[in-house]
Amino acid sequence: MILLMYMSFIMIIIANIFMFISFMISKKSFLDRKKCSPFECGFDPQSLARIPFSLHFFLITVIFLIFDVEIALIFPMITTFLMINFLTWFKISFFFIIMLLVGTYHEWNQNMLNWMN
């Protein structure tokens, strides 16, 4: 047990040392505004340097990722069907599916599933 505590302590110290070194190496200077501005042959830029981003597209992507992870969590439920008690498996599966349906209903109620908003 003591060995495990020592190893954990050493790993935490090493991780903190690496974070400190990376923080010191990547320190940026925010004092010079000209270095942070976009460069177009020495002239002022014609348009904005940053492209506007669709927040709706980002939210659709997050919803897709959440459901993708949930599908990955459903697959082990299929393989454990024969290994555990049916009532326990049914309760866990039912709770998981209800949570998926509640999330889908909330997204539908907030009009997040409509692409043409």
Give me the mean pLDDT over the 16-37 stretch. Answer: 74
pLDDT score at 117:
57
Residues 53-65, mean pLDDT to the nearest whole number: 80
Model pLDDT, residue 7? 92
Q: What is the dihedral of CA 93, 99, 103, 105, to 10 degrees?
A: 90
Domain boundaries defined on the chain: 55-109
Burial of 90 (0-12, 13-18, 19+ CB in 10 A): exposed
- Split at pLDDT 50, 70, 90, the class of 15 is very high
pLDDT number for residue 28: 62
Tell me the DSSP string of 44-90: PPSS-SS----HHHHHHHHHHHHHHHHHHHHHHHHHTTTTS-HHHHH
Q: How far is CA 28 from CA 11, 17, 32, 34, 90, in A?
A: 28, 19, 10, 14, 54
Token representation of residue 16: 């903190």
Residue-averaged pLDDT of the chain: 80
